[in-house]
Chain A
Amino acid sequence: MATRIEVTGLTAYYGKFKAVSDVNLTIEPKHVTAFIGPSGCGKSTVLRTLNRMHEVLPGARVEGSVLLDGEDLYGAGMDPVNVRRTVGMVFQRPNPFPTMSIYENVIAGLKLNGIRKKALLDERVEESLRGANLWDEVKDRLNRPGAGLSGGQQQRLCIARAIAVEPQVLLMDEPCSALDPISTLAIEDLINKLKSSFTIVIVTHNMQQASRVSDSTAFFSLEKTGDPGRLVEFDKTSKIFTNPTEKRTEDYVSGRFG
């Protein structure tokens, strides 16, 4: 159930502003791919084009193609709602639904898919929470509000919510930037575990994190503020961090720029 993503000639706009220009890369199935780069380089924008969340913002649009196992997400007749059920997403700030319990949060996506059977829901809740390494911490209080958990637990709850619908790809937009180091470690362990089932793309500002969790790394950058971001280099993570081809990549990962 993991999927290859091929991005070709992708350019994304916010209204008239061109945020990223001409991105080409192939994301391998059951791999963790990290997007790194300075703020404003468009890495989050590219991530959001992979499940058509980019166009949710007013005035935002996309050119180019994103093939998911050969099928163009931006092809005619492709419903963004279906895309998002196939490509799940975890956001920068933990965002469990505050009006729902832990249990209801996990099944939120399943209910949208019309699954109502209690036994099946129970099963999927336990499965997803175990998958997100959260089950042992919350199994006795599934009917308590999800917003009452700690930040790290909330983020794992959001991951459980995302994987409950069994997507093929999991996008993570700086999933640890609002978390303390212990919670960050818990999420990184989880990413290692999840990559056996999902194709994972993670945006991170933390280069150590990129080197720890990812197999491939894409480095984005921009010439100056106001210019569109571009993909500078995309390669195996070990190569990017030890022997990058581009001078700019080396400057960034070694801390001389950025």
Chain B
Amino acid sequence: MTTEPDSSAQSAEQRGAASATVPPTDDPVGAPASGPTSTGSDQPDHDPVAFTRPAPTTTGKAAVGKADVAFKNLTRAAGLGLLALIVAIALFLVLRATHALGENDGNFLSTQEWFPNQDPPKFGVAALLFGTIVTAAIAMIIAMPVAVGIALFITVYAPRRLSSPLGYIVDLLAAVPSVVYGLWGLLVLAPHMKGIQLWLSDYLGWIPLFSADSVGRSFFVAGVVLAIMILPIVAALSREVFLQVPTAHREAALALGATRWEMIRTAVLPYGKPGVISASMLGLGRAMGETIAVALVLPASFKISWNWLEPAGNTIAANVANGWGEANDIGRGALIASGLVLFVVTMIVNIIARAIVARRRDFSGSSA
């Protein structure tokens, strides 16, 4: 058997070495620093690099070092600045809220009334918090499957001719401020929601949540409007996440005999899960913080209503938008206190989401 080189690449090199009597003319650098491959006769045979390299690198290092330090300080300042800002916001909220809370005649957490302007003031966040969570939850339940479906269609099912323009459009839609979608939902969709609400109460009325004496400006309508508002951003982020799934994993599933849906379940969804959870948190944050659209839908009643098709309810953010103008000093403090509650709830939800993602960090694929 003839001597076989290890690989084609190596064989090329060996041929080069065999014919090395001819000086390598295609050497792009030709300078001493080009390393051991340049076998020019003006260089000592033993490792010229060790001798020629230090001089340029030390000066280079000093320059790099300065820029490095400057950049490090810049990023550190930004990080610390952000922390300081959060602390300042929290302090501001607490300080402004404390006075109003001290004057409060009712229990802030359990009272379902909002009369901060009367004497003695009486207000509580219970109904507002309930409405915030319910509307945001309805929005998530409606928007998440649709958003993930859109993202999967674009990344997996759509032919390439369709997927690039669709992806572009979704990204574009996500960049439009959500209030635009809110207005559309409010002006175009909400007036036509009566039919579906009646249908729901007719057929699902045996579930208490869907039973209704009359339907109208309900949590359900607010939830649908919110869902429309958060849909583009969640879909765009999910698409981005699914695009990150390595082709190797998708092909691995296909090569095992997976259908396209099985490939999605085996390779795409598990890999994308942390990213989709992050995207949903962003959507949830938007849904909970949305003011105008919700304020225009809900009748601003301070009542914990378990009939989600009936016109009732209010949210923290909507209440701030509604009440700020006519609030006196105590009233503003009360609204700020409710804002503080929203702040805390958002934090808790985010912490839970992060814990879910972290629970299986070893399996996240980030190490692969």
Contact = CB atoms under 8 A, between A and B. Distances in A.
Given A95-B252, A147-B367, A241 B7 contact: no
Interface string A27-60: 0000000000011000000000001010010110
A84 B368 CA distance: 25
A98 B271 contact: yes
Interface in B217-274: 246, 248-249, 251-259, 262, 266-267, 270-271, 273
Given A39-B8, A99-B271, A84 B14 contact: no
B252 A158 contact: yes
Interface stretch (A85-93, A116-124, A126-134): A85-93
A14 interface: no
Contacts of B368: 96, 98, 147
Contacts of A76: none
Interface stretch (B172-180, B198-206, B311-319, B357-365): B357-365
A242 B249 contact: no
B1 A242 contact: yes
Given A84-B257, A145-B363, A258 B248 contact: no
Contacts of B160: 58-59
Contact of B258 (A112, A145, A242): A112
A147 B256 contact: no
A135 to B, nearest CB: 20
A109 B4 contact: no
Given A255-B4, A255-B5, A89 B255 contact: yes
Contacts of A161: 252, 256
B12 interface: yes
A182 interface: no
Contact of A207 (B5, B12, B248, B364): B5
On chain B, which size bracket covers the interface? Answer: 35 or more
B2 A53 contact: no
Contacts of A95: 246, 248-249, 251-252
B15 A81 contact: no
Contacts of B258: 81, 112
A258 B15 CA distance: 10
B366 to A, nearest CB: 8
A38 B9 CA distance: 9
A254 interface: yes
B25 to A, nearest CB: 21
Contacts of B2: 241-242, 253-254
Nearest to B266: A108
Contact of B364 (A98, A241, A255): A98
Given A81-B257, A91-B248, A98 B4 contact: no
Nearest to A207: B4
B257 A98 contact: no
Nearest to A51: B255
Contact of B367 (A88, A108, A113, A148): A148
Nearest to A105: B252
Given A98-B365, A99-B365, A208 B251 contact: no
B57 interface: no
Given A95-B252, A98-B271, A145-B367, A253 B266 contact: no
Given A144-B362, A255-B11, A84 B1 contact: no
Contact of A255 (B14, B254, B267, B270): B14
A113 B262 CA distance: 11
A96 B248 CA distance: 9
A99 B271 CA distance: 6
B1 A241 contact: yes
Interface in A138-152: 144-145, 147-148
Interface of B: 1-9, 11-12, 14-15, 159-160, 246, 248-249, 251-259, 262, 266-267, 270-271, 273, 360, 362-368
Given A145-B367, A165-B257, 12 more contacts: A51-B255, A53-B255, A56-B251, A84-B255, A95-B251, A95-B252, A97-B252, A147-B363, A161-B252, A165-B256, A208-B4, A255-B14
11 contacts: A38-B8, A56-B251, A84-B257, A91-B252, A95-B246, A95-B248, A98-B249, A98-B363, A144-B362, A241-B1, A255-B3
By Cβ-Cβ distance, the 5 closest A-B pairs, closest first, are: A98-B365, A85-B257, A99-B270, A255-B11, A95-B248
